[in-house]
Amino acid sequence: MIKIAIFASGRGSNFNAIAKAVKSGLIKARLALLVCDNPEALVIRKAERMGIKVALVQRKDFTSKKDFETRIIAHLKAQDIGLIVLAGFMRILSARFVGKYKNRIINIHPSVLPSFKGTEGIRDAYDYGIKITGVTVHFVDQEMDHGPIILQAPVMIDESDTLVSLEEKIHKQEHKLYPEAIKLFIEGRLKIKGRKVKILTR
């Protein structure tokens, strides 16, 4: 059974959605590890309540990014992790790290990539005035918000939407799409060819 590590730095709403999908059997894998860089993150308490091992690794405790990531890699090796899921982890992974886990790191972004990359994807789409934004799940490569796209889903921006209501709609879609993408990975149904991902039928 494939073991999953989730990397998160904040509230952990996607962590919750993934954990529920694992518990229900939708995702036939083991959620083995939470990697967190923020000792105040609410996601830590959630993982502890679920009995999931927590690796708290703070960047300030290391003289270099390489040493910081080496400690994380040690935790991943100790748990024999087969898939890394980024869920609000507020650090950019190095090319060295991404290369070591090539095609085994996935991320979710709150826009229809390649539009509105970066940490303010929801706000940027809202401020721009577009009518449709969405959610993207993708493999992580050496560029930010760039790797091969696994799944995307649209989210309509209504005239009555505020930034808060749009964020709620985006997060609701994320909680559906991320478990679905992870399920496809676990089932071995994702084939990467260049920049494209083919979803294999059963």
| Residues paired with residue 199 on neighbouring β-strands, in sequence order | 190
Q: Which residues are catalytic, by number? A: 109
Helix orientation angle between 121-128 and 163-186, rounded to the nearest 10 degrees: 130
Rounded (5°) CA angle 152-169-165: 145
Whether residue 11 contacts residue 171, with contact meaning beta carbons closer than 8 Å, is answered with no
N-term to C-term CA, the chain: 18
Listed in sequence order, the DSSP H helices in the chain are: 13-24, 42-49, 65-78, 95-100, 121-128, 163-186
